Amino acid sequence: MFQHKISRYLLIFLALSLSVMSNLYAKNKKPVQVNVWSGHATISNGKIQVRYSSHPLQFEVKNNDKTVFKSTGQAFLAANTGTNHYSLTGTNHLHRLYQGFSSQLIGPNGHTADLQVTMDKQGQIRIKIHSEASGTKGLTIHLFQGSDEHYYGLGDVWHTKHVDLKGSKITLWDSSGTPDECNWVPFYMSTAGYGLFIDNSYRGSINFGKINPHKTTIYFNSSSLSMYLWVGNTMKDILPQYLNLTGYPPIPPKWTFLPQKWRDAGDWKDVFQDVHMMKAHDMPLGAVWLDRPWMRGGYGSDDFIFDKKRYPDPKKRIQQLHNMGVHVIVWGCDFLTKDSKYYKEGKKNHYFVGGFGVHNEGVQNGLQRHIIDFANPAARKWFEGIIKNALKLGVDGIKLDRGQNYPVNVTPPSGRDPKAMHNYHAYLMDKTYAKALQAVRGNDYQFTPRAGWAGTQRWSMKWPGDLKSDFSHDQGLPAVIRAQSDAGLTGFALWGSDIGGYSSKESKEVFLRWLEAGTFSAMMEIPGKGNHKQAPFSWDKQTVQIYKFYAHLRKNLVPYLVDMAQKAHRKGTPIVRPLVWNWPNDPKVNSLDYEYMFGNDLLVAPVVHKGKKTRQVYLPKGRWVDFWNRNRTIQGPKTLIEHVPLWKIPLFIRQGAKYQFKRPKVQLPKN
């Protein structure tokens, strides 16, 4: 009886508490107000306001009375039918909706498009456009660009001058090459105070004022566009809103932050040789990667079953590596070849893109590559079972290759438009692998795909693919630093490249400068390929000693990295972030492409040019402590000229940092 009374009083207390909380929430969240009158419409939640005018056609978004997003003149929208490109400058049928409005846009010759704009209580603005014109090939949106406006995001961005995308034109279309361009994300943030996600996987391009410095032009090969718009005072306010929609980065297990090593080809003898060499030199090692060909089959890509000649008795060998504290990651792809034992089943059930005989990368070793139709749920489930063949033996993770060459000249059995699937294929591929890993491994796995799209950051520790082993702006180390920064501002907080690149003839200088930068990425791994299969032992004793120092420094950073990964998981905060993230009001940082914050407290300035003996470093506002000389404190903002011998990367600690960032007790060269 007494317990029942307590339960009854507890329920009453909880009900009253919920009522009070609900009332407080209602007071803090103002309802969305919509007004439509005489060719005008507004949507407002008290802080954010959308304004629409039909004569002339104008679209504008304000945040606390500050304009953050607006159309350019009368040409907010244009359509392309293949033969004609026309602007939709008039409007008709303006109607009020729940939390928004709809309107019909009018162009020449009776061409029309439907526009719908809504805003929820949280301030998320949804814009939907659909062209009614027969044969519409694409839609273009024109936005005003301010002279002091800067842009960041779009995933792994290559071939731009700066991390800041202002003045660049970016084409969002997966393609092979060096580098492989296959992680385009149609989301960017503007320093004017907005973030825009175009939820469309067709071929697109965004011109951030390359032709007209006062105009940002967005074009997609689609007759419909669905967009999400968020506003905020800084990127710290905007990025979490995007991730609320697409997903936050995971918290990978602690071991994934230790140094890792992979070989392009080999056998168990090579793998254990790498491990024993690292152990003999007291070098921390968290994982080894078994690259292609580790599986059986003519292309070494079939069935997730170990090749008996190169990798016999895999379960026993994997356990031996585990006993040494080393995890095992294996290569994967998005196709099977005809010598797969699952090929006939896949062909019979129409699980391959385009059906039997269709491939996208030609014939190699006499075998066609049959891409899985991941848009088919049954094909995904079937392929998950194939992936588990290796996972059940104790494999700890997947390095997922390919994904960027989905063919557009076929109609897949799933019926999806191949022009939309070309970019989106990577999303479904990554999702399939992630589900298989989670089913067998829980949360204790590493998933490292090459290709991605909006949302794949929720599963993966990103790897950008093959890069040149040099200092070239678009294909080497400098490109990695820029791509890593923009990817971080698109939600990919967990990102790391092949240290030294993928070429077989990298120099000692390239390897060491890349090593220094790679130590301060979310993933640190070195390849073994061509002339340098034994890396880091492929050069000289000095290289070995420098690598040992940075491997131990990386080990010391693991608790810090775990902390930063947890922040990324909770708030979306990038681990690698350009200085504009922390100092948005400092105009000097917009053009600093090769300096970044590594977490909250480390400023990193990699050396990205050949033969450099000094490096200019800009320290923004605040007090900084030199990592290499703890008695040296600098008050920012200040520009320094730092001496950078081959073993040294400029590195500064924010004064008052939580972590001590201990220097390893490993001897470095004197000069």
Distance CA 113, CA 30 (A): 32
Look up residue 438 and give its two tokens. 């989670």
The predicted model scores a pTM of: 0.93
Distance CA 28, CA 390 (A): 52
Question: Residues 584, 587, 591, 592: is their CA dihedral positive or negative?
Answer: negative
CB-based contact 314:304 (threshold 8 Å): no
- Position 298 scores a pLDDT of 86
- Position 246 scores a pLDDT of 98
- Residues in a beta bridge with 251: none
- Report CA-CA distances (Å) from 529 to 227, 322, 501, 504: 43, 24, 10, 6
Rg, the chain, Cα only: 27
Q: How many CB atoms lie within 10 A of CB 13?
A: 10
Identify the three-state secondary structure at position 627: coil
Please name the helix (run of DSSP H) or strand (run of DSSP E) that holds residue 449, with its range, or none. Answer: strand 446-449
- Position 55 scores a pLDDT of 80
- Residues in a beta bridge with 60: 51, 70
CATH for 33-246 is 2.60.40.1760
Fold identical between 255-333+377-569 and 578-654?
no
Q: Are strands 302-306 and 370-371 parallel, antiparallel or unpaired?
A: unpaired
Identify the three-state secondary structure at position 99: coil
- Report CA-CA distances (Å) from 283 to 14, 260, 554: 56, 11, 10
Distance CA 170, CA 207 (A): 6
CATH 3.20.20.80 fits 255-333+377-569, yes or no: yes
Q: Give 294's contacts (C-beta < 8 A, 6+ positions apart).
A: 300, 306, 307, 310, 311, 330, 331
- Position 366 scores a pLDDT of 64
- Position 75 scores a pLDDT of 64
- Report CA-CA distances (Å) from 624 to 155, 588, 614, 630, 633: 30, 17, 19, 10, 6
Question: Residues 565, 571, 576, 582: is their CA dihedral positive or negative?
Answer: negative
CB-based contact 428:442 (threshold 8 Å): no
According to DSSP, residue 175 is labeled: B
**Residue 438 phi/psi, 5° resolution?**
-65, -35
What are the structural domain ranges in the chain?
1-29, 33-246, 255-333+377-569, 578-654
Q: How many CB atoms lie within 10 A of CB 138?
A: 21
Question: Residues 210, 216, 220, 222: is their CA dihedral positive or negative?
Answer: negative
Q: Give 405's contacts (C-beta < 8 A, 6+ positions apart).
A: 174, 176, 360, 361
Distance CA 512, CA 668 (A): 13
- Which amino acid appears at position 506 of this protein? E
Look up residue 111 and give its two tokens. 């061409």
**Residue 582 phi/psi, 5° resolution?**
-90, -30
Distance CA 8, CA 1 (A): 11
C-alpha angle 467/475/639, rounded to 5°? Answer: 115
C-alpha angle 656/661/667, rounded to 5°? Answer: 145
Query: Which residues of the chain, if any, have pLDDT below 70?
Result: 1-29, 74-75, 355-366, 504
CATH 2.170.190.11 fits 578-654, yes or no: no
- Can you spell out the DSSP letters for 21-53? HHHHHHHHSPPPEEEEETTEEEEESSSEEEEEE
Q: Which of 142, 74, 76, 84 is nearest to 111 (CA)?
A: 84
Q: How many CB atoms lie within 10 A of CB 531?
A: 11
- Taking the mean position of all CA atoms in its chain, how far away is CA 624? 30
CB-based contact 443:253 (threshold 8 Å): yes
- Taking the mean position of all CA atoms in its chain, how far away is CA 660? 29
CB-based contact 32:119 (threshold 8 Å): yes
- Report CA-CA distances (Å) from 650 to 296, 509, 618: 46, 16, 11
- Residues in a beta bridge with 635: 623
- Taking the mean position of all CA atoms in its chain, how far away is CA 517? 18
CB-based contact 654:634 (threshold 8 Å): no
C-alpha angle 475/608/331, rounded to 5°? Answer: 45
Q: Which of 455, 381, 563, 482 is nearest to 186 (CA)?
A: 455
CB-based contact 374:413 (threshold 8 Å): no
- Can you spell out the DSSP letters for 533-568? TTTTTTS-HHHHHHHHHHHHHHHHHHHHHHHHHHHH
Distance CA 322, CA 394 (A): 9
- Position 591 scores a pLDDT of 84
Distance CA 542, CA 530 (A): 21
**Residue 24 phi/psi, 5° resolution?**
-65, -40
- Residues in a beta bridge with 616: 641
